[in-house]
Structure 1
Amino acid sequence: MLERNQDIRQLKKGIPNWLIAERLGIHENTFIRKLRKELPKEEKLKILAVIDELKQELGRD
């Protein structure tokens, strides 16, 4: 099975989906559904930035 948005999935390991969704201002289910299809570059960059922020705040690598 082809996994879409692999870069996001790998980077977010250890960070709950609900926390990322909350920071994006969307529901957790909406975030999970977004990952089903390859995201546009702009949206992907926004999500990756949120994940980086959360990693810094949580002290994760």
Structure 2
Amino acid sequence: MENKDIRKAIEDSGLKHWQVAEALRIHEGSFSRQLRRELDEARKREVFQAIEKAKLAL
């Protein structure tokens, strides 16, 4: 499975993928498709920032 670190961070935060996608301002399906392939480091940083942003919105 690709992007295990991102998937684990989402699970540990108690968020759902759709909430992270919303913080990234993209459709849930687009986010799901992006996670199928390993993301580059720049995109991973964006996703981790979105996870933090979404956690604050809870």
Residue-by-residue CA offset, 1:28-57 (whole Å, 9 max, x unaligned): 000001000000110010001111222244
Query: What is the root-mean-square deviation of aligned Cα atoms in Å?
Result: 1.1
| Shift, 1:25, TM fit | 1.1
Which residues of structure 2 form unaligned runs of 5+?
A: none
Percent identity (aligned): 39
RCO greater where, 1 or 2, for CA within 8 Å and sep 6 or more?
Answer: 2
Which residues of structure 1 form unaligned runs of 5+?
A: none
Alignment of 1:21-60 (within 5 A): 21-58=21-58
- TM score, norm. by length of structure 2: 0.85
Q: Which runs of 4+ in 1 moved over 3 A?
A: none
Decide whether the 8 Å contact of 2:10 with 2:51 is kept in 1.
yes
